[in-house]
Amino acid sequence: MKLIKVGAAVLNQTPLGWEQNKLNILEALTRARAAGTTLVCLPEMAITGYGCQDAFHSPSLQAMALDVLFDEILPATSGLVVSIGLPLLYRNSLFNAAALACDGAIVGFVCKRYLAGDGVHYEPRWFKPWELGARGHVEIRGRSYPIGDIYFDIGGVKIGFEICEDAWVASRPGTAMAGRGVDIILNPSASHFAFDKLEVRKRFVIEGSRAFGVTYVYANLLGNDAGRIVYDGGAMIATTGHLTAVGRRFGYDLVDLTSAVIDVEQSRMVQTWTNSFRPRFDEPPGECARAAFTWPARDLELTPITAPEPWERSPHKKEEEFTRAIALSLFDYVRRSASRGFVISLSGGADSTACACLVAQMCHLAVTDLGMDGFKRRLGYMKSLADASTPEDLVGRLLLCVYQATRNSSDVTENAARDVAAALGAEFMSLEVDALVTGYTAMIEQAIGRELTWAKDDITLQNIQARVRAPGVWMLANLRGALLVSTSNRSEAAVGYATMDGDTAGGISPIAGIDKAFLRRWLAWLETTGPADLGPIPAVRAVNVQQPTAELRPLERAQTDEADLMPYPLLDAIEGAAIRDKQDPLETFLIMRVHFADIPPRQLAQWVERFFVLWCRNQWKRERYAPSFHVDDKNLDPKTWCRFPILSGGFERELATLRAFVAERYPG
């Protein structure tokens, strides 16, 4: 047996956050040394943070990354073998690289071959893909280091790399490394969170370890690094097809180390007795970088398989993941922006209630993870938290909920807002803004020389009510130095069912990446069940029993969102077909006929057409939405996911084809 203790470090890094990023790396190495872990894989771009975007092209950033690596991190690798991610300039091209350090010295650099260029990822904008089989030497500080498509022999243990996207493609680099008899493959990643994505990662980690006959060590980032993308952590270690260790996800600690003891000789024997294993006998010059190293001889025992946390096995896993992803993102966003809490215009409806509950869940989950003192230290710039003794105290200091009534507001929504705020422990204010509406209306009526009426001026009269609510909550947010939370969801964003400079006002829009149908299911779950270890919030029932409504028309008109638009489940399904899957109006209609057969065809066609018209008409609104968090793979954010022209032909010909088809197939 040749036993080695390997580790995958999960880090909560900040783009350009040089000092804290370095401290996180050093803390990971300190924990590794204390745990007897010798080989440590750090996440992708660990030094700089992954989300630096166009700053990656700054020569000063590239130089600083090398300074931090050589002057501040390398000395801490004494007695260890560590992979460290950073951008690296070579032959006037920038590469996404991982340095392998051994006992205080750099052995070489591996460069990423497959760049992530879809969804939220734009790596080809900044980096070049490394060519298969290409190798060279890079000069740094007067010394030459091997670089490229290489593997390492460290004290007789062979180590290779797949950097994040490298493992997601069909022609994985691990295939060639297995032929070289590699013992361990390291995967430093920056893999963003999305629902059910963990299962995909598990598959490529486990299958990679099985197919290649190796130990596979996967490290990931954690938290909200740059504003929109959420990383869930979830380090993994697998050996020859068996998952040995799984790290926590959505933790609030800046560093988490997952370790396992593996038997290198056992994995070699698996390659030996596997009939399909084919060694490669050629060895091109420079393919293997070698370093002398004595692996510690310790009394080690093989690591038993780590059991996942209870919530990971919940039948409501999507609700659990959503809660924990948004809560962690809010925590990182508020501390990284040095804001002093959150202000929410709490209408008594589903969207604003969801936002308020998520802030409260943030406090409870963070205290569960960090403890009360740890929570206060992390937000140490907020002196108002000093005497808080419970999570509810924290909610009361961090969250202000403001109900703003007009003559079209009801007692039902005001009471619901008040009850929810009280149940959460949030501060609550009720403001009358009807006089502002009346004042603006009278001013415009005088200017245009006529009365504004609901018959002629419906949208105008609705929008002014939404817009007069923004200045007051902005004032309160400014007074507190807090973040104003925009409460629009993705379903509304798709069709522009929101008032610009009204309910879209805010600095962060935490639910703009999730659809209304799911939000309503989530609130129903929160009312009766809630997250593991936290439990339900029964007061949410006052919101759940209502039909979603903007409550901007006179009460006797009984306004509801779905009457204005269409049923939310249908809207979300159309969005998936039309926007995510790029189907034209007729194709979308045919797909909807299968899934919504109970809706009359002509009505269904009208709703499909309404979606396409509103989608095209409202791209300018989506361009102006506050930053949102990505939680699945069909986001509408035009800055980081779904690009669409602000001005377009509006699918006129395609919609005409749909109308003609329906008229012929379903006459009358």
* Residues sharing a CB contact under 8 Å with residue 230, sequence separation 6 or more, in sequence order: 192, 193, 223, 224, 325, 326, 328, 329, 629, 630, 631
Please tell me the pTM assigned to this model: 0.94
In three-state secondary structure terms, 213 is: coil
Mean pLDDT of 460-486: 95
Superfamily of domain 3-308: Carbon-nitrogen hydrolase (3.60.110.10)
Question: What 3 state SS string does 222-236 have?
Answer: EEECCCCCEEEECCE
Q: What is the average pLDDT across 108-136?
A: 95
Residue 654 neighbours by CB under 8 Å, 6+ apart: 584, 585, 586, 612
Residue (of 186, 235, 195) closest to 12 by Cα position: 235
Is residue 253 pLDDT above 90, yes or no? yes
pLDDT at residue 240 above 80?
Answer: yes
| Residues 594, 666: Cα–Cα separation, whole Å | 16
Residue 305: pLDDT band (50, 70, 90) is low
Instruction: Please report the pLDDT score of residue 149 as a whole number.
Output: 94
Please report, for residues 496, 502, 637, the alpha-carbon distance to residue 621 in angstroms, rounded to integers and kept in the order given: 7, 12, 11
Contact (Cβ atoms closer than 8 angstroms) between residue 288 and residue 152: yes
pLDDT at 551 over 70: no
Average pLDDT over residues 53-68: 97
CB 259 within 8 A of CB 32: yes
Instruction: Tell me the one-letter amino acid at 411.
Output: D
Mean pLDDT computed over 553-566:
75
Please write the tens of the pLDDT for every residue from 330-372.
999 999 999 999 999 999 999 999 999 999 999 999 999 999 9
pLDDT of residue 19: 98
> What's residue 564's pLDDT?
85
CB 443 within 8 A of CB 417: no
For the ranges 164-173, 191-200, 303-312, 479-488, which has the lowest average pLDDT?
A: 303-312
How far apart CA 529 and CA 661 sit, in angstroms, is: 46
User: What per-residue confidence (pLDDT) applies to 640?
Assistant: 86
> Which amino acid is residue 206, in one-letter code?
I
Tell me the pLDDT of the chain averaged across its residues. 93
Percent of the chain at pLDDT above 70?
A: 97
- Count the neighbouring beta carbons within 10 Å of the beta carbon of residue 282: 7
Query: Burial letters for 326-360: b for 16+ Cβ neighbours within 10 Å, e otherwise?
Result: bbbbbbbbbbbeebbbbbbbbbbbbbbbbbbbbbb
Q: How confident is the model at residue 409 (pLDDT cuts 50, 70, 90)?
A: confident
Under 8 Å between Cβ of 402 and 344:
yes
Fold observed for domain 315-558: Rossmann fold (3.40.50)
Beta-bridged to residue 192, according to DSSP, are 231
DSSP state of 636: -
Predicted confidence (pLDDT) at residue 251 exceeds the cutoff of 90: yes
**Is residue 387 classed exposed, middle or buried when 0-12, 13-18 and 19+ CB atoms within 10 A define those classes?**
exposed
Q: Over the stretch 573-631, which tens digit does the pLDDT of each residue have?
A: 999 999 999 999 999 999 999 999 999 999 999 999 999 999 999 999 999 999 999 99
The boundaries of every CATH 3.40.50.620 domain in the chain are: 315-558
The mean pLDDT of 306-317, rounded to a whole number, is 85
**Cα separation, 27 vs 29, whole angstroms:** 5
Tokens of 493: 């964003």
Position 558 scores a pLDDT of: 64
Q: What is the pLDDT of residue 266?
A: 86
Q: Residues 547, 549, 551, 556: is their CA dihedral positive or negative?
A: negative
Instruction: Answer with the residue of higher pLDDT: 561 or 59.
Output: 59
Residue 144 has pLDDT above 70, yes or no: yes
Encode pLDDT of 434-458 as tens digits. 999 999 999 999 999 999 999 999 8
Residue span(s) of the chain under CATH 3.60.110.10 come to 3-308
